[in-house]
Every structure is written in structure tokens, then in C-alpha cells.
Structure 1
Amino acid sequence: MTTPLQWLFKAFDIFVVVGMAVMSLLVFTNVVLRYGFSSGIPFAVEVSRVVLVWVIFLGSVVALAKGAHLGVEALVVRLPRTARFACFLVSYGLMLWCCWLLAQGSWSLTVIEWDNVQALSGIPVGAIYAAGLAAAILMALVLLLDLWRSLRGVLPAPWSGVEHVEPLPVVSPELISEKAP
């Protein structure tokens, strides 16, 4: 993870946990009230939807910063250093272009929908699209910081030629002896 933004991603981690807790509490309470007491919390669905969208987008920013997204590294780690660096630049250029497209579309939709409010909660509909805008800007920032570090000689793990291999699970001898007839 890029060190200048560690405090921000820690705050995002906390927001994701709090957001999941709020969503779970709202939905669970609403289900119990609907089926048990024939009532409910009118705004629970709308608030849960907005929180879910923000949790997903901010969680994806944190995953990008930590390098936790899925990647196929089998080919990249076998390339010579210059070819790995060229692939790195091309892939980061494409990701920055996708961030630009996401930011452009999210900004347009945020502006268009900001004056429309959700019926029960009063939250602007544009707040949902603003999550995409925030994620695009933050992802671009993470990518630019990684590019800056790479130009100074520090490539992220898969691009540096280090193959990430998961350790094999360790099975205790007691479990093996229990299965043997």
C-alpha cells in the first residue's frame, strides 16, 4: 500500500465496517418489524442502498491500494524486466483511462441527479453516483502514486518479477492418522 495515503485507507476500512454494520442492522430490524409486527422502517431500504454503493466503491479503492484485486501473474513474472515494465506502463495507462471514463460518467450523473431526492429518505439520488466519482479520483491517485514510485525504481510485487505463491495448507499428523483405517 502506498504510504502517503495509509491513514485515508484506514479510515475507509473503518467506514466499510461501520457501513456493513449499519446495513445489516437496518435490514435485519426492518425484516423483524415487517414480519413480526406488520410495520417497518420506511427509509431503511434507501439508506441501505446508498451505504452499499459507497461501501463497494470505497472498498474497491482500498483493494486497489493493497493489491488485493485478482490478477494473472503467470506470464508477467516470466518476462524480462524491460518487458514487465512496458506491460506495467500499458496496464496502468489503461486503468487511468478507465478511471477517467468512470469519473466523467459519474460526474455527469451526479450533476443530473443531485436535485432528485429519494422518496422516503430525502437523500439526493446523485449521492449514489458521487460514490463512483470519489472512487475514480481516489483510484487514479493510487495509480499515479504507484507510477511515481515505479519511475523511482520501486515496482509493485507482480511487476517486480517476484512470483506470489500461496503456502500449502499444513495438515497436522493427528488428522492424517484419524483418517487412516
Structure 2
Amino acid sequence: MNTISMPYDTTTLLGKLFKGIDFVLIAAIVAIFCFMVGIVSAQVALRYGLNMSIDWADESGRLAFVWVVFLAIPVAASHGAHIGIDLFVDKFSPTHQAIIRKLSCGLCAALCYAIAWSCIELCKDQWDEKMATLDISVAYFFVPVGLGMVMTALHLTRIALTAPPLKKLGDAE
């Protein structure tokens, strides 16, 4: 498969906006992941091969990992690829399952908005504090959490207001 299937209607303006944002997120994830793999690999090679190290490699690798994880969450959520425990929900009729999934998406969206708001407050408090080896704010660890949660909340709100992704045959149990 060459393309990622779109879980929403891309003929509408909102669908095109989500598609564009997801494209930017995926491009950022790939770029940050490549940086992370490169810097961690270089650090390992230098440390064990030449008995040297890059001072900022550990901290930048950790920061890149946080960015990759929290930017990937909304992409997974938009496709219904997030972790879901549906043992209880599967006992209901398809109509009731859809209602329960919409309600749970709405509740999760509310929690994501709350986490994003908390990240804004944390960033304000931590912005003046610098990392040990990088001359940037510690708050850059919270920025991807806030961005990821806002985007996840938007996708979950869309799902709650429209329709949850269909459960595919062969989904992991």
C-alpha cells in the first residue's frame, strides 16, 4: 500500500485541513525520528568505538523521543489505531457499541484538552529553566505533549461528533 487511508472525508474543508495537519505531523515525525536514530547511533559509535562522546546526545535523543511519541499519538488516534480495550463494549449491539465509542471519544477528548491546558501552565512555569547540556528550555519536553494532546483531542472530537472508526476484522485482541 503506497498511501495511508484517510479515516475522514477529505472532500470537505475540515477533512482537507485534518489531512494537511496529519501530513505535516507525519513529516515531522519522520524527520525527528531520523535525527534521533542518527544522533543516538553516532553517540554509541563514538562512545564504544573511539571512547568519546557527544555531550548533548543523550538529552537531545530523549527530547526527540518525546516529540516523536507525542506527535504520533494523534495520527494513530485519527485512524483508530490507538490502544483500545473493547471486551466489554463488544457485548453490546452494534448501535450501542457506536454510542459507547462516541461517548468514550468525547470523554477522552475532554481529558486531552485538560492535559493540553496543563501543559500550557507547565510551560509557563518551566520556560526559564534550562536543560543541563542543551541551552534551551526544559519546557520543550512539555510542548509536544500539549501539541499532541490538542491534535488528539481534535481528532477524538471529530470522531465523537461523526462516527467512530469501524473495528476491522483481525484487529489485535
Distance 2:165 2:45 in 1: 47
Equivalent in 152, 157, 169 of residue 166 of structure 2: 157
Kindly provide the amino acid, as one letter, of the partner of residue 76 in structure 2. Answer: A
Please report how far the alpha carbon of residue 74 of structure 1 lies from its aligned counterpart in structure 2 after TM superposition: 5.2
Aligned to 2:137: 124
Q: Paired residue for 1:102?
A: 115
Deviation of 1:47 after TM superposition, in Å, equals 1.2
Which is helix-richer, 1 or 2?
1
Cα 1:79/1:26, change in 2 over 3 Å: same
Q: TM-score, normalised by structure 2?
A: 0.80
Aligned match for 2:153, one of 140, 145, 162: 140
Q: CA RMSD, aligned part only? A: 2.1
Question: Against the structure 1 CA distance between its residues 88 and 36, is the aligned structure 2 distance closer, same or farther, given a 3 Å change threshold?
Answer: closer
Unaligned runs of 5+ in 1: 159-163, 168-181
Counting only pairs closer than 5 Å after superposition, residues 1-181 of structure 1 correspond to structure 2 as 1-2=7-8, 3=10, 4=15, 5-73=18-86, 75-77=88-90, 79-150=92-163, 155-158=164-167, 164-166=168-170
- Find the counterpart in structure 1 of residue 4 from structure 2: none
Aligned length: 158
Unaligned runs of 5+ in 2: 1-6
TM-score norm. by structure 1 comes to: 0.77
| Greater gyration radius | 1
Q: Distance in 1 between matches of 2:132 and 2:93?
A: 57
